[in-house]
Structure 1
Amino acid sequence: MKLTMTDLTPDDPALVTDVGPLIRTLRPGLDADGFLEFATAAHRQGLVFTVAHDPAGRCLGVASHRVLATSRGRLLFVDDLVTAPAARSAGVGARLFDELRERGRRAGCVRIELDTGTGNHGAQRFYHAQRMNIAALHYAVELDLTDPESLR
């Protein structure tokens, strides 16, 4: 399938109409307004939304990513990579990942990193197929900003 890769910015209406609903399939707690607020703030922090369009102009997948300088070297961090449900297993995700590899190389990155949920087995199979290794465990703790005790 021929795909065109395009980077969208928060001022592009397609970010709201095409990308937002796709990202929200991964982040169901994020409503349309929350997505635009997130996209605007994250874009200012360097987040890029790369969209895969088919020849008819339909958005079939998106990868949000940014280049980070870390003590482990320069890396391309993928915040989200999602394919439209109707286009899954058609090579869209693999094509997006190939695009990320190339962008990472051009940016001087030593690797691509991302996080995925422990229960997202389909994504885990996909990332293993892309020759990714489980290199770390990602820990998190929720903070209740109204409770000073939670901030310790």
Structure 2
Amino acid sequence: MELTMTDIAPADPAMASDVAPLIRALRPGLTQAGFMEFAAEAHAQGLVFTAAHGDGRCVAVAAHRVLATSRGRLLFVDDLVTAPGVRSGGIGARLMSELEERARRAGCTRIELDSGVSNHGAHRFYHAGRMAIVALHFARDLSDGR
């Protein structure tokens, strides 16, 4: 499948029609309105939404940003999702290659991302792409008021 990579801004109608459905499939608790709010706020903070279009539709999306950290400049992937009907067809790998090229052009020393501990399919994908587990990500929920 021929792919076209396009960066989508929050004001672009494709954000609601193409990007939102895929990100919301990855994050089922996110409403359409909640997604659009998130997209606008995160885009203002430097988040880029790259959509992969093929066969006349959006087949994958990566949300990513370049960060300057004490460990060096890196491209952090917040979300990466391929449409369920085309998974395991190489689209995710092509999107990751696009991100790698962008990272190199931006002077990044590496690509980083977080993956849920139970998402074994994603782990296989990332390992196949020569990514290594280099850290544990810790979180504390503050919504309970404690």
Q: TM-score range by the shorter chain?
A: over 0.9
Task: Name the SS of the counterpart of 2:7 in structure 1.
Answer: strand
Q: Match for residue 13 of structure 1?
A: 13
Name the SS for the 1:21 alignment partner: helix
- What is the match of residue 144 of structure 1? 143
1:14-53 correspondence runs (5 A): 14-53=14-53
Query: What is the letter of the counterpart of residue 70 of structure 1?
Result: T
Aligned to 1:116: 115
| Larger gyration radius, structure 1 or structure 2 | 1
Deviation digits for residues 39-68 of structure 1 (CA, Å, limit 9, x no counterpart): 0000000000000001x3300000000000
User: Which amino acid in structure 1 is aligned with residue 21 of structure 2?
Assistant: P
CA RMSD of aligned residues (A): 0.9
The CA distance in 2 between the partners of 1:50 and 1:98, in whole Å, is 12
Gap runs ≥5 in structure 1: none
Does residue 1:69 correspond to 2:64, yes or no?
Answer: no
Runs (4+) of structure 1 exceeding 2 A deviation are none
Equivalent residue letter for 1:35? F
Distance in 1 separating the partners of 2:130 and 2:2: 23
Tell me the distance in 2 between the aligned counterparts of 1:53 and 1:2.
Answer: 8
**Which letter maps to 1:119?**
S
Number of equivalenced pairs: 146
Work out the percentage of aligned pairs sharing the same amino acid: 69
Deviation at 1:127, TM superposition (A): 0.3
Write the distance in 2 (CA, Å) between the matches of 1:106 and 1:46. 16
Structure 2 alignment gaps of length 5 or more: none
Match in the other structure for 2:127: 128
Q: Which residue of 1 aligns with 2:4?
A: 4
